[in-house]
Amino acid sequence: MTDMPSSSDVLFLLLGACMVLAMHAGFAFLEVGTVRAKNQVNALVKIITDFAASTVAYFTIGHLIAYGSGFFVSAQSLSADHGYGLVKFFFLLTFAAAIPAIISGGIAERARFYPQFTATLLLVGLAYPVFEGIVWNDNWQLQDWLTRTFGHPFHDFAGSVVVHGFGGWVALMAVLALGARRGRYPRHGAVAAHPPSSIPFLALGAWTLTVGWFGFNVMSAQTLDGISGLVAVNSLMAMVGGILAAMALGRNDPGFIHNGPLAGLVAVCAGSDLMHPIGALATGAVAGALFVSLFTLTQNRWRIDDVLGVWPLHGICGAWGGIAAGLFGQSWLGGLGGVSLAAQLVGTLGGIVLAVVAGGIVYGGMKRLVGIRLSEEQEFEGADLALHRISATPNRD
């Protein structure tokens, strides 16, 4: 055996990259099904153009910040080891591009198009790679410090905190900067419902994300030699736990039920390679309960108009996933061990702080400089006609 990547490793990681790429269709249709009909085209356009922006930003500077290596060398150098480095970039890019895809759902129906496009360039090119590099490349030796202090580094196998938590907390700052949708919270204190436009599209998005998530988690091993059936079954069990908890607490609401598996999968990413399947089931169930409870609180009591509930789903469940890895990864709870709860708490809190600072700077700065919200007239008309000049359901003679 050799430590050099093989052609099989390249194919393995390429399949994983394609599965996570397909998850972006899931993000798109989850948003399409949740927003009102007059904003469906905008949801589709945002996801695909933000992916393009993410690719350019991550290729030119983001990967260099995170891992210290860029791509402005000869094609001969890039094709070494069957082009494994390029395919690894593709795989990691699909993770990075999840940041704006997460944010998109929170700011739906009232965000201007090009400021969000610019925010994607800044977040994926500059902000996200800083945290990614700290956790997955030991930049600035912070992981070494955690190891010396707590006995183990911060463990996030597939991105509960690095990807989902970071994206969710940035999204919260974007939602707060934008404010609520027009008419969502009338002055007399009531909450005006904006029901989903299409439960079938919402469900399609949830299923697409769920299936692709097995590439997100299992292929995070990045080589065939590192693949583990434990990661796959833990992902399955957390998904099921999320569904059951959302079904019970959400009173059979289809929106909650179809977000339940996503909550469980967000939470299990960090410790999916460590937990016992029963621990993963518990992790997913807690995540599903957290999503339903906090979605209701944010929307109805705190009046935070997070359209898809991306802060509860990704920000809170992602943070829970980082902590859960430190709990259910312990050998005395059936896990494989080699993880510190204290390190998990510090790493999770650090990710939240970085995300809040980055989100505040990017969205707060652009709000002051160029504005980030549609006009009242554009919002009333809908982003589809106001920005793209076409409706998802045009009138026909």
Asked if 288 contacts 312 with a C-beta cutoff of 8 angstroms, the reply is no
pLDDT tier for residue 396 given thresholds of 50, 70 and 90: low
Q: Cα(34)–Cα(76) distance, rounded to whole angstroms? A: 46
Q: Which long-range contacts (CB under 8 A, 24 or more apart) does 336-342 make?
A: 336/273, 336/274, 337/274, 338/152, 338/155, 338/274, 339/152, 339/155, 339/271, 339/274, 340/146, 340/150, 340/151, 340/152, 342/149, 342/150
pLDDT bracket for residue 394 (50, 70, 90): confident
- For the entire predicted model, the pTM comes to 0.97
Q: What percentage of the chain reaches a pLDDT higher than 90?
A: 95
| End-to-end Cα distance, the chain | 68
State residue 186's pLDDT score.
87
User: Is the per-residue pLDDT at 228 higher than 80?
Assistant: yes
Decide: 135 and 162 in contact? Cβ < 8 Å: yes
**Confidence at residue 6, expressed as pLDDT on a 0 to 100 scale:** 87
pLDDT at 1: 39
Q: How far is CA 274 from CA 218, 219, 229, 334, in A?
A: 13, 15, 11, 9
Query: For 67, what's the count of Cα atoms within 13 Å in the CB-facing half-sphere?
Result: 14
Q: Crossing angle for the helix pair 166-178 and 341-369, nearest 10 degrees?
A: 30
Tens of pLDDT, residue by residue over 295-344, are 999 999 999 999 999 999 999 999 999 999 999 999 999 999 999 999 99
Q: Which long-range contacts (CB under 8 A, 24 or more apart) does 138-142 make?
A: 139/66, 142/350
Q: Which of 189-203, 242-256, 376-390 has the lowest mean pLDDT?
A: 189-203
User: Sign of dihedral through CA atoms 278, 283, 286, 292?
Assistant: negative
pLDDT(188) > 80: no
Q: What is the pLDDT of residues 3-17, one digit of tens each?
A: 678 899 999 999 999
pLDDT confidence tier of residue 91, bands split at 50, 70 and 90: very high
Which amino acid would we find at residue 86? Answer: L
Average pLDDT of the segment spanning 37-53: 98
Q: Work out the pLDDT band at 397, boundaries 50, 70, 90.
A: very low
pLDDT band for 193, please (50, 70, 90 cuts): confident
- Buried-exposed string 272-295: b where 16+ CB fall within 10 A, e elsewhere: bbbbbbebbbbbbbbbbbbbbebb
Q: How far apart are CA 265 and CA 178, in angstroms?
A: 28
Residue 269 above 60 pLDDT?
yes
pLDDT mean across residues, the chain: 96
DSSP 272: T
The type of residue at 171 is A
Cα dihedral 58, 69, 152, 130 in deg (nearest 10): -40
Q: pLDDT tens digit string along 231-267? A: 999 999 999 999 999 999 999 999 999 999 999 999 9
Q: What is the pLDDT of residue 3?
A: 66
d(CA 122, CA 357): 13
* Cα–Cα distance, 198 to 32 (Å, whole number): 8
